[in-house]
Amino acid sequence: MNAGNDNTLLQVNDLVMHFPIFRGVIQRQVGAVRAVDGVSFDIRRGETLGLVGESGCGKSTTGRAILQLYRPTSGAVHFEGVDLVHLKGEELRRMRRKMQMIFQDPYASLNPRMTIADIVGEPLIVHNVATGREVEERVQHLLELVNLNPSFASRYPHEFSGGQRQRIGVARALALQPSFIICDEPISALDVSIQAQVINLLEELQDEFNLTYLFIAHDLSVVRHISDRVAVMYLGVIVELADRDDLYLNPLHPYTQALLSAVPIPDPIADAKRQRIILKGDVPSPVNPPSGCRFRTRCPIAESICAEARPEFREVKPGHFVACHLVK
């Protein structure tokens, strides 16, 4: 993709993340799960990039590989111009202060034996930014920011509902005043009436602190609401990336078109009018992905070229990238 300008916060270039599969007594490597297989995009300061795709498409792995929670197999990740892939130890730790993550499952991502104060305050202590009384004050302030009563600080996670726990996760992510937050399916474990509360909170915090989000989700309606630009992943690759409205109103890749048409609309009249594209079959295994275009086995318009060559991820009009041989 184009070289980053001053406004680019994060640049991902040809990121590859393979997980080796070992078999036999001597644990020889017999293959690899090609979870992410050459992904490139950049994120501008202050924007929200939505990353959508179905389960197993590699969207969460992409997020984790960016933060170096997984060490990428190859490729480059530049954050504020610094290459994260080759950073180690203390240098990486220092960069991590600026990049935080909110996880999907608010039940599994909070330690049940720690109080809320300990959970939210831990990043401050680990990164030596505050001690003692100061930590306490910062925690109180953080809880207020996410609309939780600061007097709850001495309680344990089990005393909170799913939505409240997710707020605690948000407070923890904000503790180090990061500039970039990866939200990995932050609302998919929550009830419908609670989802809107958390989305609104994330948007308010973004405005207040000029945060940049990578918003990973499978729910295309939510992504349309919160994102400025959207990338669609399928089986380890990005098949389309565009401005939000451009992508939703004028999807070019056949997978994006099918995906959008499959989302049910809470409106029987609008729903009845829509043309639904039903894809055949399931997503192939990332251990042994199809040759050429990865979507060709389910693509309604695939031709012979799709099996032969991997389509290039190219800019078909300003800001609209697509990886398909058949898009003119």
Q: Which residues bind another protein (CB under 8 A)?
A: 54-55, 161, 163, 191-197, 199-200, 203, 218, 220-222, 224-226, 244-245, 248, 258-272, 274, 276, 278-279, 282-283
Q: Closer CB to another protein, residue 141 or residue 224? A: 224
Minimum Å gap between C-beta 184 and another protein is 17
Q: Are the C-beta atoms of residues 261 and 274 closer than 8 Å to each other?
A: yes
What does the alpha-carbon distance between residue 256 and residue 71 come to, in Å, rounded to a whole number? 29
User: 26 or 269: whose CB is closer to another protein?
Assistant: 269
Tokens of 75: 């490729």
Q: Is the separation of the CB atoms in 310 and 293 below 8 Å?
A: yes
- Indicate the residue among 54 and 136 with the shorter CB distance to another protein: 54
Specify the 3-state DSSP secondary structure of 201: helix
Taking the least distance from each CB to another protein, the nearer of 25 and 192 is: 192
3-state secondary structure 135-187: HHHHHHHHHHHCCCCHHHHHCCHHHCCHHHHHHHHHHHHHCCCCCEEEEECCC
Query: Helix or strand or coil: residue 240?
Result: strand
Closest CA to 134 of 143, 144, 125: 125
CB of 282 to another protein, least distance (A): 5
- Closer residue to another protein (CB): 29 or 221: 221
Pick 1 or 196: Cβ nearer another protein: 196
Provide, rounded to whole angstroms, the least separation between the CB of residue 88 and another protein: 37
Min dist CB 67 to another protein, Å, is 25
User: Taking the complex as a whole, how short is the minimal distance between the CB of residue 298 and another protein, in angstroms?
Assistant: 8
* 49: nearest Cα among 296, 176, 257, 230: 230
Show the tokens assigned to 18. 């393979």
Please give the Cα distance from 195 to 190 (Å, whole number): 6
Nearest approach, Cβ of 268 to another protein (angstroms)? 4
C-beta of 127 vs 248, nearer to another protein = 248
At a CB cut-off of 8 Å and minimum separation 6, what does 41 contact? 1, 12, 49, 231, 238, 241
Rounded to a whole number, what is the largest CA-CA distance in the chain?
Answer: 67
Least distance in Å: CB of 297 to another protein? Answer: 13
